[in-house]
Every structure is written in C-alpha cells, then in structure tokens.
Amino acid sequence: MKLADLGDVRLHYRIDGPDDGAPVVFANSLGTDLRLWDPIMPLLPAGLRVLRFDKRGHGLSSCPPSPYSMGSLVTDAEKLMDMHGFKDALFVGLSIGGMIAQGLAVKRLDLVRALVLSNTGAKIGNADMWGERIAAVLKGGIEPLADAVMERWFAPDFRATPELELWRNMLIRQEVQGYAGCSSAISGTDFYSTTASLRLPALGIAGSEDGSTPPDLVRETIDLIPGSQFQIIRRTGHLPCVEKPEEYAQILTRFMRDTGHI
C-alpha cells in the first residue's frame, strides 16, 4: 500500500507491472475505490504498467472537506502520474473518472496518448439533481441512498448475486465529505466544448442498463472526438468492469492493440 503526498491531499495508489511496461492508468467512479478494477486486472495483457488510485475523499486517501472542484481532481491525477513517470499512457476513466480523463487530456496531452471514456459524459446530471444528493448525504449519510445507487450501478442479473453486498459495502463506507465533495465536482463540470477539441484515439464504453450515464450520453460524449469508437456491453449497468469483466478486458485489450499501445 502506498500513499503519495500531493500537498493538500494524500492519495492511496497502487502500481502493478514492470517499470518498462506500456503505461495504463485507471480512474474509478463516485463511491468506489481502486478495487473497482480488481475483477479485470488478471484478464489484462501481461507486462502492462498499471497505476490505480483512490481519488480524494475515497478509499484510503485522505479526505479534505467538501466541496471539491473538478480541477483539483484532475490535478491530483496529473501530479500522481508526474511523480511516477507515467506519460503517453492509456487513461481509462469510469464515470467521474472519465471526467477526470477528459480534463487531464485537455490539460496535459503529453500524459495521455489514448482515452477510454467508460460510463461517463462530458456533463453528468444537472445542478438540481446533484444539489439534492449532496444535501441528502450531508444530512443522513450514504446508506439511505444505497439501494437506489445499486439499481443504477448494476443490471438485475448482478443484483441477484451475493457479490452485490460487497459493492454496497464499498459505497456506504466512503467518507460523506468525500462523496459530497466529488458530487460537487461533477455538478460543476461541463466538458462539451473542451472534449470536442481533443484529437487522440478514444473509445467509449457503455452499459446497456446504466441508470447513471445511459448509452446515449456516452455515445454523445465520445462522438465529440473525431475517429472515436463506441461499444455497448449488454446486460450491464454503470460498472460493467465488475459485471462482465471478461468482455470489458477484451474490449480494452483490442483497443490497446488497435492503437499500437501494446
């Protein structure tokens, strides 16, 4: 377990693979930590150098008081990559992680050679919706929201498995300030015009039953980048890397090969 001191925050992170491996960075979603990617890790090609991290206020990272800006989340990823010599990386971001990916590619194209925008959007939801969610969490904690979140995260097949409890536990054990802080960052983000300026290989991944970032939103976002690709994973919700890890890893591997990353 490693902790990076970035000044105003300390981030828990993990690097797997050889120092000279093709660099890949994963950024996870609201209410999850870096274990989000555990199901696909053994299914990825051997020899990659993989960086994963808990964004501020999540997992084992420190938790500054809410609210956070999207700029601070992008800067955290930027500092962590610089600190560990990650450049020309494939950056895979899911949900708020996909927003961080878009912001980082615009700011530091030297760090990002290709993007995977998974279950995300240039803008997610609206200020009223996020305002209500933040107020509810600050008043009553995350637990009362958990069943509704599970319905957005997972398709019915997965919700019927005992594994659901693990992911529900992950959600409700996040810090309230971290969850509210990241929600504020999402609420204040509209990347439509900046993402449309990006020119790099890009792939959008959507879950057919995603109740948070439906396939149309992911497609609209990835279509902003000329030449991008788009894939829907059937019978999955917001976290297809958990529900269908084999399919998810296959799509990533094909994209890495198509773009010459491996």
Ligand X SMILES: O=C(O)CC1=CCC(=O)O1
Binding site residues, ligand X, CB under 6 A = 29-31, 95-96, 124, 149, 152, 186, 212, 238
Distance in angstroms (rounded) separating the CA atoms of residues 113 and 156: 36
Kindly tell me which of 75 and 95 has the beta carbon lying closer to ligand X.
95
To ligand X, the closest distance from the beta carbon of 38 in angstroms equals 18
To ligand X, the closest distance from the beta carbon of 145 in angstroms equals 8
The tokens of 46 are what?
């051997």
The distance in angstroms from the start CA to the end CA of the chain is 27
Kindly tell me which of 195 and 212 has the beta carbon lying closer to ligand X.
212
To ligand X, the closest distance from the beta carbon of 95 in angstroms equals 3
To ligand X, the closest distance from the beta carbon of 48 in angstroms equals 24
To ligand X, the closest distance from the beta carbon of 227 in angstroms equals 26
Name, in order, each residue with C-beta under 8 angstroms of 145's C-beta and a sequence gap of 6 or more: 133, 136, 137
CB 98 within 8 Å of CB 117: yes
DSSP for 81-145?
HHHTT--SEEEEEETHHHHHHHHHHHH-TTTEEEEEEES--SS-S-HHHHHHHHHHHHHH-SGGG
Name, in order, each residue with C-beta under 8 angstroms of 252's C-beta and a sequence gap of 6 or more: 40, 44, 92, 116
Q: Give the Cα-Cα-Cα angle 35, 100, 109 (nearest 5 degrees).
A: 120
Kindly tell me which of 75 and 187 has the beta carbon lying closer to ligand X.
187
Kindly tell me which of 22 and 222 has the beta carbon lying closer to ligand X.
222
Kindly tell me which of 113 and 187 has the beta carbon lying closer to ligand X.
187
- Which residue type occupies 209? E
To ligand X, the closest distance from the beta carbon of 163 in angstroms equals 18
Kindly tell me which of 185 and 202 has the beta carbon lying closer to ligand X.
185
The tokens of 21 are what?
């491996």
User: Shortest Cβ contact with ligand X: which residue?
Assistant: 95
